[in-house]
Copies of this chain bind each other. A is one copy, B any other.
Amino acid sequence: MAPVTNGRVLFNEYLPTGYPIPGKTVVYDTSETIDLENVALNGGFLVKVLVLSIDPYQRNRLKAPSDQRSYGSFELGKPIQNFGVGVVLRSENSAVKAGDHVYGQYDFQQYVIVPELPSRIWRVLENKEQIPWSAYVGVAGMPGQTAYYGWKEYASPQKGEVAFVTTGAGPVGATVIQLAKADGLKVIASAGSDDKVEYMKSIGADVAFNYKTTKTSDVLAKEGPIHVFWDNVGGESFEAAIEHAATGARLLECGMITVYNTNETYTVKNLFQIIGKELHVHGVMVAGPLHEKYVDEFYETIPEKIARGELKYKEHVLHGLDKAGQGLLDVQTGKNFGKCVIVVAEE
């Protein structure tokens, strides 16, 4: 078989502030080819990438190393990276065989040679529940893990308490809404459009509102105080949550999308209340010790719940790796409705 094109999404320039521009911040490149039958694997395995995930946190990796705090910059001229699922075409690694479906952090390419299973993040997916592969980068992947690990470790939910979830129509927030409902909490959830509000109600939110037309602090004043806060927004939203937190409330900081594209300029004017209300603020990251602690439990329970229809999810699907730049932009502006997934190839 002749070599085939191996399309790639390359990181083209650092973006200190502002939204990513498709074709400028990242570019789709078709200059490389790959000989699928003969390319040397050197003990690794060759994957045909099926789906790739676009997530808000990737915005931080578009910044220069000098502006980085935590995630590490993408390398200029090289493919950007994120979680995905692919099917193994050939393997020289005993842990993986042709036909296996592997979840991991892939370069944004149509075909990837993986030297080895690099970390506990990577996983050969059995999928005996037969849910769609795309679910494994969403509710059954990193965003679902983020929600599950953070909720299990820090929420300390008590039946009858009140939770407030921001970006409740996104894959993390929507999962948190459902976990909170399952634990018997009253759930307040916000998102940025009326159809997202309807969706949040459909998955169980007791109170759902559009933060663009309704003031968060007004809703919390009426429906709070809140005992658990799941924050994907930061800034004014964090301030409103502190203002309407009950004594001893748990504030789970998972994302601050309001500060990803600008510098952090909002003055949170009530940090002092962290003391008086004895609040607990926790930064939630999916990698690290929480992953070690919860990953097996996660894969044992979540795909099954999805298969049974007990855990719902919604996707914003873009077809073709060349749409990755658009996806990066969509999740920063909130244009996506549900988990943003790039379908790179059918099996």
Contacts and interface: CB of A to CB of B under 8 A. Distances in A.
Contacts of A71: 276
A268 B275 CA distance: 16
Nearest to A265: B267
B254 A275 contact: yes
A64 B278 CA distance: 21
A38 interface: no
A306 interface: no
A222 interface: no
Contacts of A277: 69-70, 283
Contacts of A248: 289
Interface in A248-279: 248, 253-256, 259, 263-279
A280 interface: yes
B270 A69 contact: yes
A253 B267 CA distance: 18
> How many copies are assembled?
2
Given A70-B277, A267-B265, A267-B267, A256 B272 contact: yes
B278 A285 contact: yes
Contacts of A60: 276
Given A280-B280, A280-B282, A264 B275 contact: no
A340 B267 CA distance: 33
A39 interface: no
Contact of A276 (B269, B278, B280, B283): B283
B276 A70 contact: yes
What class of interface size applies to chain A in its complex with B?
35 or more
Contacts of A285: 275-276, 278
B288 A272 contact: no
A230 interface: no
A69 B276 contact: yes
A98 interface: no
Interface string A272-302: 1111111111111100110000000000000
Nearest to A274: B283
A86 interface: no
Contacts of A259: 271-272
Nearest to A238: B271
A271 B254 CA distance: 12
A234 interface: yes
11 contacts: A71-B276, A253-B275, A264-B269, A264-B270, A264-B271, A265-B269, A267-B267, A267-B268, A274-B281, A276-B285, A278-B284
Ranked nearest first, the 5 interchain pairs of A and B with the lowest CB-CB distance are: A70-B276, A281-B281, A275-B283, A267-B267, A274-B283
